[in-house]
Amino acid sequence: MTGTPLELIRNFSIIAHIDHGKSTLADRLIQHCGGLTAREMTEQVLDNMDIEKERGITIKAQTVRLEYPAADGKTYVLNLMDTPGHVDFAYEVSRSLAACEGSLLVVDASQGVEAQTLANVYQAIDAHHEIVPVLNKIDLPAADVPRVKQQIEDVIGIDASDAVEISAKTGLNIEGVLEALVTRLPPPKGNESAELQALLVDSWYDQYLGVVILVRVKNGVLKRGQKIRMMSTGAVHPVEQLGVFTPKMRAVDQLGPGEMGYITAAIKTVADCNVGDTITDDRRPAAEPLPGFKPSVPVVWCGLFPVDADDFEKLRESLAKLRLNDASFHYEAESSAALGFGFRCGFLGLLHLEIIQERLSREFDLNLIATAPSVVYHIYKTNGEMEELHNPADMPDGSIIDHIEEPWIKATIMVPDDYLGSILTLCSERRGQQVDLTYVGNRAMAVYRLPLNEVVFDFYDRLKSVSRGYASFDYQLEDYAEADLVKISILVNQEPVDALSFIAHRSQAETRGRAICGKLKDLIPKQLFKIAIQAAIGGRVVARETISALSKDVTAKCYGGDISRKRKLLEKQKEGKKRMRQFGKVEIPQSAFLAALKMDA
């Protein structure tokens, strides 16, 4: 088991668009190489979160070590990384690619090349990978193998003449994929006698083992009992357990160059594990760390607050554990007058935000309120300073702002011809600027510059509905550009509600303000006095809704007698209402917050 020769190791990842069959192919490879018995086999073996199986998406990049007796009589060790396909998890993909030398590019033979296929392939090319194209789902009646091969050559520029044709669902030609891996991918390089250099690819929290670290050894040997040092923090730990995933955890004595495996080293604090760090030997350290990966930059921010204020500490601990599990997630404490204490969290996109929220409620049993998602703005003040704005509630006074810049993205949208018109209309409605429009067969590829603020809300849903689900979308942050942006404050009974404030382009501010006021009117329960709900830009109110008072029949007990008795009662009531409006505090129920924030999305 120890010290597999380098020429018999192959490290590869599977890259593809969502739903093109990555996890299914990984299942078949595990089954073929006997990683699990037929009884232990489940659908999507490597998707070990319930949420991944339910939604049919991969969120965490998983790794597995397989042994394959090839046609040339040698037994090869294959280290497979199954990567996510969704644009929000591109950071997971980049980490997986840094640990491998080659990639399997899986393309659905009935759908062809999609936007995220392109994004992930370009990442693999940047990582100098050898790429083997694989056409999946060739058993479907709609599969068109020659057209898709041509598309791969035209759009990506990779020779697809010897692409492996398979059906991952039925297991057709899985042997062909394994042979292509062995013959067409290069073995890893490394030196066993050099100082230890191992790349920290991933880490997660296990309640029994503490922090588990996934490593890829580049040079040197990693052994049980060895004292290791994290090069970025200088923390020293003894290695307690060492092993590989088959995909079950299996202990080994050592890991040599080119091998992937996991270690546990009684690491208690999350801060000691930085994804992308280099692990070296404490006694004989390496001179310099390996090139890590670029740190992830959060694109979307939102506030997470516990519904029950007593859960604040529990939320803090849960976020720390999740942060260990997902290095691309950022958080910092904040407080809000309306919602109490919580955290401002940064995500790579809206799906990422949704998944983190879902995981917090499922895995840690937390009941949370999330504020409307916002992006990071650059605010330039009149004194020449620039500050980053994560939370619309913290926007400084307009008199000291010189100008505001917002982030723009470069979006690639691939869509069948029939739906192109509605896609172009949608992009221009969202202040998009067309950069390029090309055709590949009967599919159009539109490249647009769009403000991220417009994409964060419901752009993805609208894109899917106007194209009946056929459009695929991928984006990357490009730059910041000046824009005429305003902060819209929501006032309930003249009191600003900070959690509902948001930033929008001046041209759409009134429409959005009017919509949220209309929504709140239906959500806030009536009181015994009138409630005014207003949307204001600075001191100017742009929209108003009024919730009428609950009518109470105070004259019910006055029957018979003089009319002046009733009048006297009504006058008294009027005085009371006036005083009530003066001191009346409006309690906004949590459900109203949730629904209003959802609507704002």
Residue with tokens 């998890």: 89
Count CB neighbours of 540 within 10 A.
Answer: 8
Q: In Å, how far are 301, 457, 510, 587 from 596, measured between CA atoms?
A: 17, 13, 16, 15
* DSSP-derived pairing of the beta strands 472-483 and 386-389: unpaired
Q: Write down the mean pLDDT value for the chain.
A: 78
- Determine the pLDDT at residue 120: 75
- Determine the pLDDT at residue 545: 83
Instruction: Summarize the confidence of residues 542-551 as an average pLDDT.
Output: 81
Instruction: Summarize the confidence of residues 33-41 as an average pLDDT.
Output: 57
Cα gap 79→11, rounded to integer Å: 5
Q: At residue 35, does pLDDT exceed 80? A: no
DSSP state of 73: S
Instruction: Summarize the confidence of residues 428-444 as an average pLDDT.
Output: 82
Cα gap 367→307, rounded to integer Å: 6
Q: At residue 1, does pLDDT exceed 50? A: no
Cα gap 401→386, rounded to integer Å: 10
Q: At residue 205, does pLDDT exceed 80? A: no
- Determine the pLDDT at residue 600: 46
- Determine the pLDDT at residue 537: 84
Instruction: Summarize the confidence of residues 293-308 as an average pLDDT.
Output: 75
Cα gap 392→486, rounded to integer Å: 10
Cα gap 547→562, rounded to integer Å: 34
> How close are the terminal C-alpha atoms of the chain, in Å?
53
- Determine the pLDDT at residue 344: 85
The confidence band for 506, taking pLDDT boundaries of 50, 70 and 90, is confident
